[in-house]
Structures are given as structure tokens and as C-alpha cells.
Structure 1
Amino acid sequence: MNDLVRAWVEGWVVSRGAAPPLTEPWGWTIDVGHLDHVTRHVLGAVGDDVEENAVRKVAEQVTGGGVWLKAFADPEVVRAWLGPRWWTDPEPGCLMSLPLTPDAPRPAPPPEGYRLRTWALGGVTRVLVTAPDGALAARGQIAPTGATAVVDQVETAPAHRRRGLGGLVMRTLQHAAAAEGARTAVLAGTPEGRALYESLGWTYQAPLTSAKFTSA
């Protein structure tokens, strides 16, 4: 199993309050418990090490709706291994990582009029930035699990983009995780978020395919 994928799985379940991952020969099964996201299967390999037989075996065993499959390989490759009852996100996500240093400077304060709040609960640190009118401007969360920490659910409201709020959220999360002893941060990002993460020093590690069983 790839160490970064393992770290991402361990941190993601803490971040989302999902069930502890069940180890499989090919990766992990995670019960999430949402109507549209009941369970997810995560392949433990990366890139060319993701095996066609493993993907097909997992996919063929799924019969109910709301089940997701995550594979850190090119969607064009993985799509060909899945049956017609699987929807595959045409935009490849990305697995990324960043070294964390305990002596990194604190992030700058938010722009004038914006308010930043940080709190920790249940092993997850959350950051919220609100606009001058009190509306949500940006948010994100991070789940440290020892030496690694997983960044999750980072978003900036469309009306508040290009004001440095995404970077503010990320730096605040990274600083909080480093203060708790994490030395590597991991995330599974979207194509839209990749440019932000790379501007903050994150390194691209592998593409990510997200597929959902449609039961249609």
C-alpha cells in the first residue's frame, strides 16, 4: 500500500466522521453512511501500480447505489475497467503532499472587514472566514493523525475569490497541524484547487479517479 494513500485514508475518516477503514487485499473499504455516499472503496496503489484486475474485482462486487470508488490513476485508464453502470468524474483529481515545519510563521490576518475563526473538535481543526456581512467567504478543515495530517473540504465562495482567502485558510490549517506535531500534510484535491495548492508549495503526487455506481 502506498504510504501517502494510507495517510489520506486515515485522516479522511477522522475529518468526515466515517467508520474506521477496513483493510482489503487491494486497499480499504470505508463506510460513510450518507444516502448518496454509503460506502467508498479506495485502491491502495498509485499510478501504474493500480492493477486492472483489482479495479474490476472491486467494481463487480458492487450492486447498490451510493457506492464510490477512488483510484489514484488516470480516469481515462480506470474508466475502461469499469462497467457501464459506473459514472466517472471526467476531471481528474490529484493526490498532493507538503512538508510541515513547526517553526513556520503564523499566517497574516484576514483582509479588512473579514473575520477568521479557528476551532478544534473531535480531532479536526476547522477554519472559517466570514465576509463583512457575515456570509461564508472561505472554509476548510484538517485532521492530524500523528505524523501526517489531511486537509479536507477547502472552499472559497465565488463572490470572495481572488482575495487570498484560500491561501489564508490553507496556511492556517497547515500551521495548526504542525503545532500538533504533524510533519507531512496530504490532500486529494480538485483540478480547480491544484493551482492554489502548488502556489503554496504542495507537490503533485498522482492523479485521482472518482467513480460512483449509479445502479441504473
Structure 2
Amino acid sequence: MSGNTDGIVRAWVDGWVVSRGAAPPLREPWGYTIDVGTAEHVTRHVLDAVNDGVEERTVRKVADSVTGTGVRLKVFDGPATVAAWLGEGWWTDPEPGYLMSVSLAAAETPPAPDGYRVRVWTRGGVTRVMLAAPDGSWAARGQIVPTGGTAVVDQVETSPAHRRRGLGAFVMRTLTQEAVTQGAEKGVLAGTPDGRALYEALGWRVEAPLTNAKFVGAAGQRP
């Protein structure tokens, strides 16, 4: 995979900040700085290079400038590579994330799974889908943010008690169809290893691996 993804990182950043209610991204020579504002996630730095475009010297420069705990770093290369470039005080998630995309097209909205209650609503630019189980408990959820021609999927989750019933696929199909009706033509997300199989089964492809790192201080304790 090459270092060029035709603006996919910026598209992901633009949608993510709306989805999470974070501050507008600040453009940096190497990528973006985003203020999130919680104790465990104060700020995040997102490098915009991907795959073979990621440079060790740039990662080191950005990481070495961090002195406060709770600052996170997102690098679009594998954890085994990136972890070796980070200094003392950085915790790196050993599991890779994945930057993924898909072309969106109009399709029929999938039928609701039997026995589950579905709610879809949009507020503040974010469209959410929730499924409640027959007993009223939470079963699955997800959200999407259309930003012009691109829509960013975020926080797709299924309760452990309701997995392997097609709820994740239902949430994804519902979200993407909602985005298509709002004019989106391409979907983008940052997925986990667990989510990757679901997304690929729905036609998504991996654009780049994603390393998640967090500065925890000189003690180097895992968050």
C-alpha cells in the first residue's frame, strides 16, 4: 500500500471531531492536532502520512514534543514499527487498528432483526442507530457523520450477549444508507481487529494500518 490515500486521513479527522464533539482540527506541517478535552484524552496528534509515506524522524519529532500525560498519537503504520520509534513514557497498543474505506451506493434499507427495536436519529450532524433487545436492554449501536462526499463511521458496538446475530451488519448497512441519502459517496472508518472481518465482509478495504499510542509519563504505566 502506498503513502497516498487521496485525502482519506483528513476526511476521517473531519468526521471524527464532529462524532466525538472535539475541537476543530489544527493543521500542522505533519498532520493535525485535535483537542478532545478529557483527563484521559486531552489532545491527539494525527499524522497524515500513511504506509510507506510514514517517516521515523517525523514520528520521533512529534512524540518527543509531548510532555503531558493523556496526549495520544495516531500513526498510520504498524505498532511493531512505530513502538520502536517512541521514547520513554509512551504506551503503544500492540493490536493494530485499520484505516478503511468503501464506495457508497444507494441500496434498500435492511429489515430490522426479529424482536429488536430500532431507533435512528440525527442531531448535531451525527446520525445514530440503536438496537434494543426484546427485554429492552441495549443490543447494538453505531454512528456516522457525513461531511460532504465522505461519511465517517464511528463507535460501532454490539453487546457480547447479542453477537453473531447480524446486528453489526444491520447497523453498518443502516448507517451507510443514511449517509447516502445525505449525499455521501465514500465511507471511512478506523476499525479494530475484531471489527475488520465484519467491515471487509461488507465490502470495506484496508487503506493503512493504524497505531494507537498514549503518553502516560515517565513511569510508563499502561492506561
Q: Same fold (TM over 0.5)?
A: yes
Q: How does 1:8-19 map to 2 (within 5 A)?
A: 8-19=12-23
CA distance in 2, matches of 1:15, 1:107: 24
User: In the alignment, does 2:100 pair up with 1:96?
Assistant: yes
1:82-141 per-position Cα deviation (integer Å, ceiling 9, x unaligned): 01210000000001001011x31111222x221110000000000000101111100000
Corresponding residue of 2:108: 105
SS at match of 2:27: strand
Q: Structure 2 stretches of 5 or more lacking a match?
A: none
The within-5 A match list for 1:66-85 is 66-85=70-89
**What is the TM-score with the length of structure 2 in the denominator?**
0.94
CA–CA distance in 1 between the matches of 2:121 and 2:109? 16
Query: Following the alignment from structure 1 to structure 2, what is the Cα–Cα distance between the partners of residues 97 and 146?
Result: 15
Letter in 2 for 1:163: R
Report the secondary structure of 2:36's partner residue. strand
Give the aligned partner of residue 213 of structure 1. Answer: 215
Superposed CA RMSD in Å reads 0.9
Q: Secondary structure at the match of 2:72?
A: strand
Residue identity opposite 2:83 in structure 1: R
What is the identity, as a one-letter code, of the residue corresponding to 1:106? T
Q: Which runs of 5+ in 1 are unaligned?
A: none
Q: Which residue of 1 aligns with 2:62?
A: 58
Q: Where do 4+ consecutive residues of structure 1 move more than 6 Å?
A: none
Offset, 1:48: 1.1
Distance between the aligned counterparts of 2:16 and 2:87, measured in 1? Answer: 27
Letter of the 2:144 counterpart: I
- Residues 31-58 of structure 1: CA deviation (Å, up to 9, x unaligned): 0001100000000010010111111111
Aligned-pair identity (%): 68
1:130 equivalent among 132, 135, 142: 132
SS of corresponding position for 1:36: coil
